[in-house]
Amino acid sequence: MAPLIKRDVDMQTPIAAEIVVAIVVCILLLCLGPLVGLYRSQRRRKRLLHTSPKTRKQTRQRLDGVTRLVTAEKSGRNTLTAEECSICLGPLYQPRRRSTDTEPGSQDHESEMSHYTHSSDEDRFEDDIVALRICDHHFHSACLITWYLSKRYDCPLCRRLYTVLPHSSRVQTCRTCIGDYLNRRSSPPRDPRELMF
């Protein structure tokens, strides 16, 4: 009888080894999955942040039809309000400091002035505040450009579509709609009694 018990133990050993290997593979997948996702999200974020100025300018021109330029004076808002851009969560309207608040040579004054001064008009549109025409929500122009470049065509606050889909998406959508229509037309007619409860 002793050899039979030994054979049972030998038979269970390969199964136990397979279970251990399966558990190790599952643990590796659970550990590596989030790391791969994090890596891909970092690459996507880096790609969006480092788009060429030409691409950003073209995107701004596309958004000109669905946005309007807003200034604190035009919108009737006080320049000291703490309204935030819902994309970057930064303040939309910076409080303007009087020249007596800081010394002319202080670093705060210089950094604030460098924020508002630009080398050309092409760079200036990045600091503009724009409102979506469809819902009148306000955002930094640079934030909305990044939002658009990440293929988001809805308002970050109310989720209403503010622009039509790009041409390639529209073509694919039309092909799908036409294909669905043709498939329905070519299918055999249904018996109306099937639709009754």
DSSP-assigned states of every residue in the chain: -HHHHHHHHHHHHHHHHHHHHHHHHHHHHHHHHHHHHHHHHHHHHHHHHT--HHHHHHHHHHHTTTEEEE-HHHHT--TT---B-TTT--BSSPPPPPTTTS-TTSHHHHHHHHHH--SSHHHHGGG-EEEETTT--EEEHHHHHHHHHTT--B-TTT--B-SPPPHHHHHHHHHHHHHHHHHHHHSPPPPHHHH--
The whole-angstrom separation of Cα 155 and Cα 22 is 45
Instruction: Give domain status of residue 114, yes or no.
Output: yes
Instruction: Give domain status of residue 28, yes or no.
Output: yes
State the average pLDDT for the chain.
69
Domain encompassing residue 163 = 12-184
Instruction: Give domain status of residue 91, yes or no.
Output: yes
Instruction: Give domain status of residue 4, yes or no.
Output: no
CATH at residue 155: 3.30.40.10
| Domain total in the chain | 1
Give pLDDT tens digits for 144-181. 888 888 888 888 888 888 876 655 554 444 544 555 55
The answer, as to whether pTM is greater than 0.85, is: no
The pLDDT value given to residue 80: 38
Give pLDDT tens digits for 67-123. 888 875 544 554 434 488 888 888 887 655 544 444 444 444 333 333 333 344 445
CB-based contact 79:98 (threshold 8 Å): no
Instruction: Give domain status of residue 123, yes or no.
Output: yes
Among the residue ranges 21-30, 46-55, 151-160, the one predicted with the least confidence is 46-55
